[in-house]
Structure formats: structure tokens, C-alpha cells
Amino acid sequence: MKLFSFERRWILTVFDATFSGGVATLPWKASEMRTTQAFVTDVFRVGPPITMLGMRAAIWLVYLFTPLLAYALPVPLGMLSEERRSSALEKLSMSNIYALRELPTLFKMMGSMAYCASAEVQRAVGIERPDFRVPNWVEETERHG
């Protein structure tokens, strides 16, 4: 399954709101990282189609409606300041409605497989892997798109 480029941008915005935030040892922006970009392509290519369809619907919901659900603001997530995007996701994750609070958690789970898999993040938190190599799927995705 291939995402439209705007859907790709949306998911990267959600990853940024989840995994960036001015912590000195972790200065990288999720959307600019090699692993994150490759992951978004790869997961939709090889993931189970029906789950990925659900994931696609989840991107629309989270991107378009999180500000509305969190702050009663009828604007998409990208229109909020970076800090407010994170707190909007946090607020949604505390919803009393299970299906709603699971949405940001889903992206946190996906984002962690991408962002936290990168050598720079792991090294920054003290995980030294002398034989660390770039995952095969990153190179594969970069070769084939």
C-alpha cells in the first residue's frame, strides 16, 4: 500500500509531535531521520493490508481531529504550535474513550520502531553497539522507494 504524499507528511508530523522536543542529548527531529522516512514507506509496503488500511484511517483521524478532540479547535494538527501538538496528543491519550486514547499510542508504537532504532538515538542514550549497522529495510527502501 502506498500513501499519498500528504498522508506521509501527516504521519511524519505526528511522529515529530511524539518524538521531538528539545532534549539536549536527543536533538534529532523524527521526520528528518533516515530510519523514520524509510520506516513509513516500508511498514505500509509489507504490513498486513487490512491493518494498514486501519492505520491510514487513523492518520486522518489523528491529524485532522486531534485539536478538535483535545482543545475544541477545528483545525488540523499541523496548524498548532509544535509544543501544543505534543500536548494535544497527550490529552487524546488520556481520553476515557478507549478507541480514542489508543490512536496516539499506535503512532507512538510505530514511531518508536523507527526513531529509536537509529544508531544516533541509541548511542545518545548510552546503548553502544560496536557492530551496529543500518537495518536492511532502510537500504532496501532507499533503493526501491
Partner 1 sequence: MAEPKRIPDGMQVFSMVSGQARIEDEADFVIIGSGAGGATAARVLTDAGHSVILVEEGPYVPVKERGYDVWTGFRSSWRDCGFQVAEGRLFLPIIQGMGVGGTTTMNGAICHRMKPELHAEWVRDHKLPENLSFEEFSRIYDRVDQELQIAPAPEEVLGRHNTLLRDGLEAIGFSHNPIRRNVVGCQGSSRCIQGCPTAAKQSMDQTYLPFSLRKGARLYAECRVSKIVRVNGRAGLVEAQFVSSPDRLKGPKATFRARRAVLLAASAIQTPLLLAASGIGKESGLVGQRFQCHPGISLLGEFEEPVRMWESVTQGYESTHLWTDRLKFETVSIPLDNAAARFDGYGRKLMENVERVGHLACWGVHVRSEAHGRVYRDFTGRTRIKYDMTDGDVVRLKRGLKLMAKMLFAAGAKSVSPGVHGLPKRMDHPDQMEALDQLDNSPNRYHGIASHMFGTAVMGADRKQSVVGFDGQVHEMPGLYVLDSSAFPTNLGVNPQNSIIAWSWLCTEKLA
Binding site for partner 1 (CB under 8 A): 17-23, 25-26, 35, 39, 42-43, 45-48, 50-51, 82-83, 85-87, 89-90, 93-94, 98, 101-102, 104-105, 108-109, 112-117, 121-122, 124-127, 129, 132-133, 135-137, 139
> What residues contact residue 56 under an 8 Å CB cut-off, 6+ apart?
1, 3, 7, 44
Question: How many whole angstroms separate alpha carbon 56 and alpha carbon 14?
Answer: 13
Q: 7 or 102, CB closer to partner 1? A: 102
Considering the complex, state which of residue 4 and residue 130 has its C-beta at the smaller distance from partner 1: 130
Q: Compute the least distance from the CB of residue 90 to partner 1, in Å.
A: 5
CA–chain centroid gap for 139, Å, is 20
Minimum CB–partner distance for residue 12 and partner 1 (Å): 15
Taking the complex as a whole, the smallest distance from the CB of residue 5 to partner 1 amounts, in Å, to 22
> How far apart are CB 68 and partner 1 at their closest, in Å?
17
Which residues lie closer than 8 Å to 94 by C-beta, 6 or more apart?
Answer: 101
> Is the separation of the CB atoms in 44 and 2 below 8 Å?
yes
Q: Residue 74, Cα to own-chain centre: how many angstroms?
A: 22
Q: Which is nearer to partner 1, 32 or 83 (CB)?
A: 83
- Cβ–Cβ contacts within 10 Å for residue 64, how many? 15
Q: Closer CB to partner 1, residue 64 or residue 116?
A: 116
Cell numbers of 92, please?
A: 487524546
